Amino acid sequence: MKKCLCILLAATMLLCGVSCATQVPSTSDTSKSVSDSSVPPIEGDSESMQPISEPVTITAWYTFGNTNEENFLAAIKDFNESQDYIEVLATQQTWNEITPKIMAALTANTQPDLIFCSAAADVSNYVDMNVAVDLRPYVEDENIGIPDFFEDFNKSAVDESTQWDGHMYMFPLSRTGEVMYYNADFFEEHSLSTPATWEGLRALCAQIHEITGGEALGSDYLDENYVDMVMQMGGSFIDYESKTACFDSEESRATLQYLKDLESNGYLRLKGDDTSLLSPFSAGLIPMVLGSSANYAKIFSQYGAEFNVGVCPIPVMENAEKDYVTMWGVNAVVLKSDKLRQQAAYEFLKFWTSKDYQATWAAGYDAMPVRTSAIETSAYQEYLKTALSTAVIVDGYDRLGFLPAGTGVSDTTNAITACIDEILLGTLSIDDAIVQYKADADAALQQ
């Protein structure tokens, strides 16, 4: 899994084959309402909330840098100037210090009002500690709410944010996801087409291996690819009712065998000493890599690719029961303080997630806005003309999925990562790896 520590308000466009999405979809039907389950109002107050009419200062801790920091601070400045009562103060933190600082601040009751987490599993830690604010009463309030929230925001992002029995302990901001990058010059030279299915990817790897005699594919997130395939086949990664990992299911075994076959046939390059397989891809050592949509620009700026790069969607299983691709994102968490500060933090999020700010933030982050209306803005449409990988994610708006949070989920994702590594390195058989790492995962889930 793409595991991130909790963060605090943390060349011409190539046209590829039919399986490569570069056009923005019609968004009239892409976001459907979730169920309107009843959520208790905060602190038992059944009255509608009123706009803030007294001075209040709130703090936000963040780790963003470069363009992301500039856009964030610009939004804060605009918000502070747009009204008379709320002032947002922002302090930049470092990645390696942020989590212990949050914990120390919570202990001392000096916590910031606003933080940001990349994963629901991180948010669950704050939910379990009873320090995260349920934002759904604010969103649904008749006076200060967001009337089109459940219609305009991406359905998967809303479902992920309201997975705690309908309570909303995180506020979605932007999303990225998995894509396949390929050497477009190599593909053109050898008349290759991008694959629509995992079976087609295996055949393409064999074709490339025949041409080059070497490896054809790398992946920075084999564990995410594993989840994609299992879910697409109609399987499950975790049985949340029995609190057990589904590593020994038919779908899991088929996926693990698929990955092992790629490695055994010499098609799959493993990471080895590389921190990212974008490095050998950019050096021309492999013509395909599965990675994050947020890394398109880095292929050129950081890794120095000198060829044309194409992007296409992550494949789907033939006869798939569910079209599923893992999404990642940035989410806001409001920490408990007093009612005035909590509402002030929400008011900033409401301002910051209006469609124009959403479009600016997402473009700067190389991400997809969670609001359909933001995708439709002229500024974001202009950005998509050159943001090839993000355009693929936008085109797959309805494919994006997530794993529910819960006790032991992070440890279970670590277990499947280790399980896959042992199988591909040949240190354990599929059967032995499943037995060993399922036991570890089950123990974590049943804590």
Q: What is the pLDDT of residue 38?
A: 36
Residue 235 vs residues 142, 174, 433: alpha-carbon distances, Å: 41, 27, 19
Beta bridge partners of 312: 180
pLDDT in tens, 320-371: 999 999 999 899 999 999 999 999 999 999 999 999 999 999 999 899 999 9
pLDDT in tens, 288-306: 999 999 999 999 999 999 9
- Determine the average pLDDT of the residues in 24-35: 32
Domain boundaries, the chain: 53-175+328-401, 182-325+405-445
- End-to-end alpha-carbon separation of the chain, Å? 21
pLDDT in tens, 135-181: 999 999 999 999 999 999 999 999 999 999 999 999 999 999 999 99
For residue 162, give the 3-state DSSP assignment.
Answer: coil
User: For residue 88, what pLDDT band results from cuts at 50, 70 and 90?
Assistant: very high
CA distance 372 to 153: 6
For the record, the structure tokens of 423 come out as: 């199988």
Q: Which regions of 184-260 does DSSP assign to beta strands (E)?
A: 217-219, 238-239, 244-245
Instruction: Output the CA torsion sign for 335, 64, 399, 417.
Output: negative
> Per-residue pLDDT for 131 more than 90?
yes
Instruction: List own/partner pairs for 335-339 with CB under 8 A and 24 or more apart.
Output: 335/106, 335/111, 335/112, 335/113, 335/114, 335/115, 335/126, 335/131, 335/132, 335/133, 336/130, 336/131, 336/132, 336/133, 337/111, 337/113, 339/42, 339/43
Q: What is the pLDDT of residue 375?
A: 97
Tell me which residue has tokens 């109609």. Answer: 234
For residue 291, give the 3-state DSSP assignment.
Answer: strand
Structural contact between residues 209 and 341, judged by C-beta atoms closer than 8 angstroms: no
For the record, the structure tokens of 247 come out as: 């590593």
User: For residue 203, what pLDDT band results from cuts at 50, 70 and 90?
Assistant: very high
User: Which class does domain 182-325+405-445 fall in?
Assistant: alpha beta
Structural contact between residues 270 and 425, judged by C-beta atoms closer than 8 angstroms: yes
- Determine the average pLDDT of the residues in 263-284: 97
Mean pLDDT for the chain overall: 90
pTM of the model: 0.87
Q: What is the CATH number of domain 53-175+328-401?
A: 3.40.190.10
Q: Of residues 39 and 284, which shows the higher confidence score?
A: 284
pLDDT in tens, 50-81: 999 999 999 999 999 888 899 999 999 999 99
Q: What is the pLDDT of residue 67?
A: 87
CA distance 145 to 194: 44
Among residues of the chain, what percentage have pLDDT more than 70?
Answer: 90
CA distance 443 to 279: 36
> Per-residue pLDDT for 4 more than 50?
no
> Per-residue pLDDT for 14 more than 90?
no
Q: What is the pLDDT of residue 46?
A: 56
For the record, the structure tokens of 56 come out as: 């209040």
